[in-house]
């Protein structure tokens, strides 16, 4: 798809009264620089009125480069006027919270679908409820949902 082709979709949605809110993920570890670059590329591909929700995912490592947090990085400083909110995904304990969330995501389930499955243990479902509350709470606080 050429740039001129996809530029028409955001304009069409705006003409219909919709606001575009793009969610993007920044991960730590080896993928940090790639995900920062991808974020910058996304911002450049959408009209100036498009806003972004940035999810910081420390699963693969801390979101920092040269001792700088995401909010101190040049990529964020350049595009912070386009960012509605930053969602901090907690570094959950891998063996418990992380495992349940990882399984849910690998199975491509929503929280509601995973919570409704009797095949999941009651503790796994409880942990998923806690994760859901934490993430949704951040979105509610930012008035993004």
Checking if the pLDDT of 1 tops 50, the result is no
pLDDT value, residue 56: 94
- For helices 122-141 and 99-106, the axis angle rounded to 10 degrees is 80
Distance of CA 21 to the CA centre of its chain: 11
Spell out the domain ranges in the chain: 1-91, 93-145
pLDDT tens digits for range 22-75: 999 999 999 999 999 999 999 998 888 899 999 998 888 899 999 999 999 999
pTM of the shown model: 0.77
Output the six-digit token pair for 126. 């409880």
pLDDT tens digits for range 77-135: 999 999 999 998 888 777 778 788 888 988 999 999 999 999 999 999 999 999 999 88
């Amino acid at each position: 798809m050429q740039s001129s082709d996809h530029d028409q979709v955001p304009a069409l949605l705006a003409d219909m009264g919709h606001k575009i809110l793009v969610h993007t993920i920044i991960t730590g570890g080896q993928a940090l620089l790639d995900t920062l670059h991808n974020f910058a590329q996304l911002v450049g591909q959408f009209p100036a009125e498009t806003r972004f929700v940035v999810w910081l995912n420390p699963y693969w490592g801390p979101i920092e480069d040269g001792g700088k947090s995401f909010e101190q990085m040049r990529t964020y400083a350049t595009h912070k006027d386009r960012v509605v909110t930053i969602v901090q995904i907690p570094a959950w304990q891998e063996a418990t919270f992380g495992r349940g969330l990882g399984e849910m995501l690998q199975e491509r389930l929503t929280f509601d679908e995973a919570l409704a499955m009797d095949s999941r243990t009651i503790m796994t479902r409880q942990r998923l409820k806690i994760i859901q509350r934490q993430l949704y709470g951040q979105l509610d606080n930012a008035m993004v949902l």
